A = this chain, B = another copy of it.
Amino acid sequence: MDVKTLCLAVLFQGEATGYEIKKAFEEGPFAHFQRASFGSIYPALSKLLADGMAVAEAHEQDGRPDKKVYRLTQTGRAAFHRAIGQEPEHDQFRSDMLFLLYFARELPPDRVAALIDRYIESYSSQADHIDSCRTERLTSGAEIDPGRWLVSGFGVEVYRAAADYLIRNRGPLLSGLSKHSQAAE
């Protein structure tokens, strides 16, 4: 998804500043499946203004640059609905980890072990983080949006599955590698 659509999506849920939009992709609800940088968000927001898809209100602040709060117009809301109406591509789990581990044989065994541990930790903490947001929302008593619930559940499940797989296969991989190097040498 291009950053313009991503901004449209965040603003669709309520007014926000560029800074807050960035946070939505860092800690917020989109954090585990989309990403955007300041260098793409601010230009996208300017374009949204220029295209009449959003309006901005400046809130003065002392010492800091004026806070610019963006809000979608009807045009913007329509554009968002058009965007989510498009046929999406198939999802692919583009992974540097898999790329590296594919060549495990070419790496020192302790480096392979360290890599796996790093990714177990990384996947697990992602899953835990999403899961804690879920329990939080559940206990807050607020109404639960079925779409968001499914999306966060998916995150927990898939990242958990990834971590579990690595935990189960760490040993076999390492012993497989040492057997191979013994045979080769």
Contact = CB atoms under 8 A, between A and B. Distances in A.
A107 interface: yes
B154 A98 contact: yes
Given A88-B100, A100-B84, A107-B84, A93 B150 contact: no
Interface residues on A, range: 35 or more
Q: Is the interface of A mostly helix, strand, loop or mixed?
A: helix
A62 interface: no
Contact of A105 (B105, B119, B146): B146
B146 A34 contact: no
A185 interface: no
A176 interface: yes
A95 B149 CA distance: 16
Interface of A: 1, 6, 9, 12, 29-30, 32-35, 80-81, 84-85, 88-107, 111, 115, 119, 122-123, 126, 144-151, 153-155, 157-159, 161-162, 165-166, 169, 172-173, 176-177, 180
A98 to B, nearest CB: 4
Contact of A162 (B115, B154, B172): B154
24 contacts: A9-B102, A29-B102, A30-B99, A32-B92, A32-B93, A33-B93, A33-B94, A34-B98, A35-B92, A35-B94, A80-B106, A81-B106, A88-B97, A91-B122, A98-B151, A101-B147, A101-B151, A102-B151, A103-B147, A104-B146, A146-B177, A150-B173, A157-B165, A158-B162
A172 B116 CA distance: 35
Contact of A96 (B1, B94, B100): B1
Contacts of A33: 92-95, 98-99
A144 B106 CA distance: 15
